[in-house]
Chains A and B, each alone.
Chain A
Amino acid sequence: MEFKDYYQVLGVDRNATADEIKKAFRRLARKYHPDVSKEADAEARMKELNEAFAVLSDPEKRAAYDQVGRGAHAGQEFRPPPGWDAGFEFSGTGFSDAEAAGFSDFFSELFGQHMGRGRAGGAAFRTRGEDHHAKIMLDIEDAYRGARRTISLRVPRVDATGHLAMSEHTLDVQIPKGVYEGRLIRLAGQGSPGAGGPPGDLYLEVQFAPHPRYRAEGRDVYATLPLAPWEAALGAQVQAAVPDGTVEVRIPAGTQSGRKLRLKGRGIPGNGTGGSGDLYLVAEIVLPSAADPKARALYESMARELNFNPRGTHGGRS
């Protein structure tokens, strides 16, 4: 396990006051907020910041960390000595156990077994386990037919001595069809274990992996439809690949790039709360390469024969 230098993470001195630590955390939390940050690793950095702040903002945890980490350096191999935490009593982190589950091994080794204990007030009543949240990456095609995914999560589990410890938890999940980006799906009972009560639930937020031809907005799906110039100009009947197979579409004569053809009800299927989305085929005219001598001769002939200026004030058509 690697030693984590929480002071370095927050960019503060070891003698920093509680106020300086709070200020440093907020400044960096603003910089690395995953919703607005332009930094590539914002989400990972935010997790690191939360972890460092959870320790350094709590006087007991900070004192214990200072003691155990004396002389240790970031990244160095580290094992806490047995009984290192004797005489300290840790209260909650300010973060839920579910969030703390995303913290490093270093954190869970030091403070993990104290989680779920010493919760201020109402501990006796709050017996249901905590809900967990994660994201799940699907392909747009999965939304049409449902999908089966294996997901791996770090979760706190009660060990034989009654303490919470982190463990890797693998789930085999059936995703129903009709889900789309920004929607949540729920796995009942797959959150934290309860203390006497039922376990919490696991929520998965659906995200779609980028696709070269498809993109979704809600249940509506946009698919690019590559066309030859003559298909677009003269009209044609073409086969187009769509997320749930292929469709035969009639291209009207005079179709320009960017024109949308709507196929009603062929977007992401509805699943109880709403009807199916629509599928839009977006025309994209693809030019044959002029590296081919025959194509080159035809282009040259068009250039000679046609009075066509696409930038002309009257649309450029002769």
Chain B
Amino acid sequence: MTRALIALPVDDTGLSLEELAAGCAVTREWVIERVEAGLLTRTGGSESWIFSSRDLLRARRLHAIERDFEANPELAGLVADLMEELERLRARLRRAGIPME
């Protein structure tokens, strides 16, 4: 049997600015602008540029919304906030045993 490739949890080490940018096929500047505008968070706090799984998924979502709808970054941020809120509420419904439909 061949040796399996080892998958590493992203959040063990976090992602650098370059890795986050590469992970959503955008430039470093794209990421920096959105962090400075408060649309993306950094896991490592204001000093270090370390990002988590969640940050990468959010950045990809922002990028897709901006592209598909030619949305400005703030509007994409608002949509992403609402989607995250929706996910939280759905999780609460699940927890309470209330079916989704």
Co-assembled chains A and B:
yes
- Within 8 Å CB of B23, what residues of A? 131, 133, 201, 203
Structural contact, B67 and A184, CB atoms closer than 8 A: no
Complexed CA–CA distance, A149 and B9 (Å): 15
Contact residues of A: prevailing secondary structure: mixed
Number of interface residues of A (CB under 8 A): 42
The answer to whether A96 and B25 touch (CB under 8 A), given A184-B56, A203-B56, is: yes
Complexed CA–CA distance, A133 and B63 (Å): 14
Complexed CA–CA distance, A235 and B49 (Å): 53
Structural contact, B5 and A173, CB atoms closer than 8 A: yes
B-contact bits for A165-180, CB 8 A (1 contact / 0 none): 0000001111110110
Structural contact, A176 and B7, CB atoms closer than 8 A: yes
Number of A-B contacts (CB under 8 A): 90
Structural contact, A131 and B25, CB atoms closer than 8 A: yes
Number of interface residues of B (CB under 8 A): 28
> B residues 1-35 with Cβ under 8 Å of A?
2-12, 22-23, 25
The answer to whether A183 and B67 touch (CB under 8 A), given A128-B22, A131-B23, A205-B57, is: no
Closest beta carbon of chain A to B96's beta carbon, Å: 10
Contact residues of B: prevailing secondary structure: helix
- Show 30 A/B contacts (Cβ-Cβ < 8 Å), sorted by A: A25-B68, A26-B69, A29-B69, A30-B69, A35-B86, A128-B22, A131-B25, A172-B5, A173-B4, A174-B6, A174-B7, A175-B7, A176-B6, A179-B9, A182-B53, A182-B57, A183-B10, A183-B53, A184-B11, A186-B8, A186-B9, A187-B5, A187-B7, A203-B56, A204-B7, A205-B57, A217-B95, A271-B12, A272-B12, A273-B9
